Amino acid sequence: MELEMPDSVDTTGGAFLETPGVYHCAVLDASESPQKRDGSLISNAQFGVELEILAGPQAKRQKNVVFFKPDPSKPKEDKGYQMDLRKPRRFLEAVSVAAERVPGGNTYTVDLSKAKGRQLIIEFQFSTQVGKETQLQLHYANIWHVDDPSAPQCERNQAALNLLPKSLRRDPASFRKPEAKAAANSGNGSAASVPTPPAPVASSAGVPIDEI
């Protein structure tokens, strides 16, 4: 076989996000069975999403995010256990995908395919876990709806935002907690705009995820 190819290949760039920060993204794909590069399933994964950066110098780069099930060996009060619950809840709220409680149970179901094409604001930072390779990961549960006033400032693709149907947009005031809304309505002007608690996340695997 004879073929033409360059003398060397630059491996410093590529299509994947390598720079930490807060980004305006679109969901390209969502899967209940996320896989590694070799095609094997990712252990203990609840679901995974493929995101594309929509604005700024990193536009068009992609980033995969995997949401894991809580470790059943840990107590429910453990911070890591609670964080594994919060992350998917924040994601589903950000992309306006509804969860429905399973009758008689403490789990929820969701149509994850509805997340495709939705937009969100998300923060990535390098992991700092001891003994593990440094990787660019979702920073805590820092995911926001595109209209959430508590989201950090970042470059946004206004043309892409304009494509979202009105049903997926929200009044910034809707993100305030009930007590904040009451204070604002009282006329004292002291109410801060804070996000509402995330909607419970669905789990087709039957994992209890509304415990916090």
pLDDT of res. 198: 41
Q: What is the predicted pLDDT for the residue at 1?
A: 53
Q: Which of 48-57, 105-114, 188-197 has the lowest mean pLDDT?
A: 188-197
Q: Please give the mean pLDDT across all residues of the chain.
A: 83
Rounded CA-CA distance 91/89 in Å is: 5
Confidence bin at 40 (pLDDT 50/70/90): very high
pLDDT of residue 78 exceeding 70: yes
